A and B are shown apart, each in its own frame.
Chain A
Amino acid sequence: MTALLRGGVVAALGTASLAVALHRSGAQAPVSPRQAAARAEGVAPPLGLVWGKLRGWQRGQDGWWLVWQPAHGAWTVTAWVPDGTNRVRATLAAAPWLPGARLSGEAARLLAGAGAEGGFPTELVGRRDWRFAGATLLGAVRTDLPAQPRSGAGVDPWAAVLVGLALAGAVARTILPTLLSRLWRRATLLAAATLLLSVPALSPLAFSSYRPGVRPWVAELSVVASVAVVLAGVALALYRFPVLAGGAPPWRVASGALACGTMLPWLAPAPWARELAGTSAPVAAVPALAMLLAWFCCLAGDGLRELTGRGGWLVRLVVAGVAAAAVAAPTAAAPLVVAACAGAGSSRAGGAWVTLAVVWGWVTVSLLAGCAWPGAVWLSLALLVMGWAAVAAQAVTGERAPVGEPARR
């Protein structure tokens, strides 16, 4: 009877969180990037040259940035596809060593505006223009697009805090006596391997890597190799700084953490969720990424706990203070700081499970809050239900996770 009651409470909490998650936010992408690309290819004027394949995408304020590039890489076509029925705008960027791309007459007439009749092309040394009776089009295409997104505009201060805490956590796990969790080590290594295999399918996320003059296969190779190097480093770290063994936290803590995670997208949704959902490998990549982020947050949480002290009210005070600061000054990395604080606030052994619950809720609801197309919605709902089902199973059976083995140094 008690088990059923616990299961019922978890089910009620899960339903409530699901209802909150389904309350859509305003920043939802109504269509996937591939659907947006099909629309752009259908309505944009022919530029008189080959667009090439769709290479990457990035979500803007209320639309998709899409980039096409032919295999030789000499130019890119970037399109802004706004949500709704607003006009699609395309721009051409060519490598500086090209003499200039000639627009088709149709595209030139469209850009020159109403009243442009006839028209003849003129050849200049560094430019190819179109002259009409009432207008002249200088160069290639008008550049009245919204400002293009820039990557690496600045360092997220909470990300820097997380990295610092993670380094401290790594030192703490090396120095302190440790029982490692074999289950967590296998699961995280499997997640890293899954993500590594998914990387080629995730190359569209590297929107800013596609530049005129760089062939797309080189840009993709650069991204794939960089991610592979990072994942190799992560795998080494997973092996060297494993999660501590211990039972899972009580079901009340786990369900609270998962519920907290489902609220975090309102603080700051996962910035890559919509782009990731548009790729061909979100089913494998999203859970793997959540697993690795949970490990990372747990590491940072261990760092925060050990920097503060060995336990007691001071740790809880500092952890609460850091979490409150992250909520008060949210950036893209703030939810991960909250997850790390949740891990630091729990026991050393149970921290990984708590951070996993928080990160799982954050990632899945970020998908749900950011994407309106069926594939992404169903995926996020399935993952969220899986999370709540795991917590419910723990509540009903009352089982704890297996204890690990002594660490080999």
Chain B
Amino acid sequence: MPHRPIARLAVAAACVGVAVGLAWGRGVPGHASAAGSAAAAVRALRFEPVGEPEVEVEADHLLAWALERSRPGPAGRELALGEGGAVRYRVRWRGGGEAVVTASGVPWRLRRPLPTDPGPDLLPNAARDAAAAAMALLVPGAEQFRTIRAQSFREGERRWHRFRWSGGSGSLPPGWEREVEVEVAGATVVSLVRRVKPLGTDLGVVAGRAAELRRLGWVAVVALALVVAGIVLAGAEGLAFHERLAVFRGILTGVAVGVLEVAKGGGSVSALVLGVVTGAAVTVLPVWTTLPAGKPLVGVPLGVVGAALVAAAPAVVSGVGAFLPATAAVAMAVTPWHLAAGSLRVAIVEETLLRGALQGLTAPVFGFWGAAMLGVAVGSLLHPLPTVPLVAAVAVTGVLHGTMAVAARRGGVGAAVVARSVAEVLLQRSAFPVGLWWSVTAVVPVAAGALCWALRKEVS
């Protein structure tokens, strides 16, 4: 019938549109300009950095989410990237000196090398004036800060002074506190450090929920350990009764998972463990004849749907008076390859275990959807974000895993793997820096997959 390909093309086009909306132009700002902002800040300490700068990401996710919760909407996210100091770039120069600037370019920590002649030792009042002058250049709204502590000490031939200012909450939520500490050696300002002291209850709500979700994650770990035992037994049984096993495919998948784990920055031990477990699971998959046949491309549109649902969740959750962080945890590794490898690795390992092995082991007892719900329950405890109330975290991650269960029903484990990798790459995009190549990495494979799905031939 002619209308089916047209409808599929329309769905594929919609998928590409959603993928572009979720991934294009997103990301953490400031990576490209971090070196320039840091160099400008260090120059204010009368030091000219020399050599190639090395840029690393630093992030305090709990602080960022606490700011998001205290200041709902874009204001909280802007604070996390700026005055809150939750997302930062550390810049080091080969020739010495180090600076940390926030994602929006605010100088956060600066340290210059101690010069051979830092100038004459200053009296405390003069040193304080020098420190305050440096602070005025580097800290917006420096006039709001008041001195709370001054220390002087001698180290070697130099007299050092350390001054600490408190700036109240400023633009931060009420009850939060900003601090600046400046060190002066001789007559030279050598370092400036900014700190934020969050209100205990604001940080506690987020930190407590994160700790609780880590504790609940034990349940998923226990369940997956039992699944691994089931894989071993199924493999032994398959060998004993000469059942069909996908040995070659299993080895190939295990090696691929190991390589992806190393590529995304994981250790060799975790690569080995994940590779062996996933390879074993893939090997015994043919034993479980209750699993649907493989039609992997079905996963592309379902993956886009899953990503769209999860991306819309913060607005829905906040609409009912609850809280869910709108931003994912910032990625510490920042190349486009890390984005692709991380998404694929998560998809292959988790979907093989949850929609393959767990489903195959429990479907004879609970039926397909009972086993699928078990997989959703286990999966929803693996990577939830801290929410208030706690159940919202499990519900939102459960929606993603529910979509994967639908994909597994429609197209088997392969479709679930494809759907999960599509959803992960779109959702994780915002954790990587702003830039063309990250967006291309997220959108192009999804667009290609959607096109292949739309143009594939029907097999009766």
Contact = CB atoms under 8 A, between A and B. Distances in A.
A171 B390 CA distance: 41
B212 A97 contact: no
Contacts, number: 72
Nearest to B215: A222
A167 interface: yes
Contact of B219 (A95, A125, A225): A225
A211 B216 CA distance: 13
Contacts of A175: 237, 240-241
Main secondary structure of the interface of A (DSSP, over half): helix
A174 B216 contact: no
Nearest to B237: A174
Contact of B212 (A96, A98, A214, A236): A214
A213 interface: yes
Contacts of B198: 97
Given A219-B215, A226-B222, A99 B200 contact: yes
Contact of A211 (B200, B211, B223, B226): B211
A327 interface: no
Contacts of B208: 73-74, 95, 97, 213-215
Contacts of B237: 171, 174-175
Interface string B372-398: 000000000000000000100000000
A214 B222 contact: no
A361 to B, nearest CB: 29
A125 B212 contact: no
Contact of B222 (A170, A209, A211, A230): A230
Contact of A170 (B211, B233, B361): B233
A402 interface: no
B310 interface: no
B218 interface: yes
Given A175-B237, A219-B215, A222-B215, A229 B207 contact: no
A246 B40 CA distance: 85
B148 to A, nearest CB: 9
B216 A218 contact: yes
Contacts of B218: 222, 226
B1 interface: no
Interface in A91-140: 95-99, 125
Given A213-B208, A218-B390, A221-B216, 18 more contacts: A73-B208, A74-B204, A74-B208, A95-B204, A95-B207, A95-B208, A97-B208, A99-B200, A170-B233, A174-B236, A175-B237, A218-B216, A219-B215, A222-B219, A226-B222, A230-B226, A233-B229, A236-B362
Interface of A: 73-74, 95-99, 125, 167, 170-171, 174-175, 209, 211, 213-215, 218-219, 221-222, 225-226, 229-230, 233, 236
Interface of B: 197-198, 200, 203-204, 207-208, 211-212, 215-216, 218-219, 222-223, 226, 229, 232-233, 236-237, 240-241, 361-362, 365, 390
